[in-house]
A = this chain, B = another copy of it.
Amino acid sequence: MKSEDYPVSAHKPTLASVAEAAGVSLSTASLAFSSSGPIAEKTRAKVLAAAESLGYRGPNPLGRQLRSGRSGIVGVVIGDQLRRSFRDPVSIQVLDGLASTLGSLGLGVLLIPGGLTEDGRRVVDPLVETAGMDVAILIWGVHRVDPTLDALVRRGVPVVIGEGRPVDGAPLVGIDDRGGTAALTRHLTSLGHERIAVVSLPFGATRRSGVVTDLSDETIDWTPTLHRLQGVRDAGVQPILCWETEASLVEHGKAAALEILSAERYPDPAERPTAIIAQSDLLAAGVMLGARELGLRVPQDVSVAGFDGLDLPWLGSDVLTTVRQPLAEKGAALGRAVASLIAGEEPGTTVLDVELVLGTTTGPPP
């Protein structure tokens, strides 16, 4: 692909040079491309021909953006590490819904790492400070003190929150974590379960795993975790155990189950939990793997429930009891909030409904 077949104007051709070559004014040339004004077909052809011969590839977006004051770009700040977030189908489906909604609005998704380092420290990604974006979406992870959020506010970038702590003046899109979990929990109590354990999502940025004893609301920085735990209590259940995981991944659910259900922890099987509420389907799947490895049958020996309503093809013939949330719709709602923000409106909070799905992994206690 030779690229030097053009007149030696040294610099890249610009709309001005095209106009000159075509013998029309700059504004007319602009019209020829933007088609946002009356122009004679003959003139347009002349301009296009000149553009062709100069090797002009169409208006430079940067110029347009400066003029219009919009970049057409929406920054999506992923709370967790990219690698981890993307292993979670939940994130993916939301992102997919978001990207397609924004796409139909002519907006693009700029991926911005949330600035969570391997060792749990938080830094502000340079893109947050420098990228030209019309709106930013903070997704999975608005923290109690959040330098990224602060930076965006300081820059005056309008912010939309997806799944997180409400921020003054920023529209929020979430689901009814609390109500959904409460309904799920009531399902378990109505089956007769009394010894219920919770395998929870991470509490916040500092990733630990293990039993948590202090379940006070202030301990929990991550909103879905908090709300789903509150839902359990709303149903009048005090978990006999809460195990915090470091990420919503199958392996962590499995590790949790191996500990929670182990003979070491409960020498007397009668004291073992009869049901485990995992705060995500991925964790629940892990819990089931762990339980099986310990020789326990689901749901005969232990019931397992999840949250999300994913399609887990490798789960075999079991159907997970879970709370289905509208993932793609969440993405779409985020997109709509962005659109309305750009239109100068002030969208409020959106809470999407969830649905209890009864599967084959819960049953009466042994």
Of A54-62, A175-183, A187-195, the segment with at least 4 beta carbons within 8 Å of chain B is A54-62
Q: Are A109 and B111 touching (Cβ within 8 A)?
A: yes
A73 to chain B, nearest CB (A): 7
A267, CB-defined interface residue at 8 Å: no
- Checking B12, B108, B153 against A112 with a beta-carbon cut-off of 8 angstroms, the contacting residue is B108
A313: interface (CB < 8 Å)? yes
B82 and A106 within 8 A (CB) = no
Over the window 42-59 of chain A, the binary record of Cβ atoms lying under 8 Å from chain B Cβ atoms (1 yes, 0 no) is 000000000000000110
- A87 to B314 CA separation, bound complex (whole angstroms): 13
Classify chain A: how many residues form its interface, as a range.
Answer: 35 or more
For the complex, give the distance between the alpha carbons of A86 and B92 in Å: 6
CB-defined contacts of A254 to chain B, threshold 8 Å: 313-314
Q: A130 near B: Cβ within 8 Å?
A: yes
Check A83 against B72 for contact (C-beta < 8 Å).
Answer: no
Q: Answer yes or no: A355 CB below 8 A from chain B CBs.
A: no
Chain B residues within an 8 Å CB radius of A169: 1
The answer to whether A250 and B314 touch (CB under 8 A), given A71-B62, A82-B95, A155-B58, is yes
Task: Kindly identify which residue among B66, B86, B110 contacts A95, using a CB–CB cutoff of 8 Å.
Answer: B86
Contact B103 A96, beta carbon cutoff 8 Å: no
Q: Are A110 and B108 in contact (CB under 8 A)?
A: yes
Within the complex, which residue of B66, B93, B154 is in contact with A63, where a contact is CB–CB below 8 Å? B66
Does A168 count as interface, using CB distance less than 8 angstroms?
A: yes
A250-B313, A289-B314 given; name 11 further pairs at CB < 8 Å.
A1-B168, A62-B62, A62-B66, A83-B92, A86-B86, A86-B92, A99-B111, A103-B125, A103-B127, A109-B111, A254-B313
Please report A residues at the B interface, Cβ cutoff 8 Å. 1, 12, 57-58, 60-63, 65-66, 69, 71-73, 81-83, 86-87, 89, 92-93, 95-96, 99-100, 103, 106, 108-113, 125-127, 130-132, 153-156, 168-169, 249-251, 254, 285-286, 289, 313-314, 316
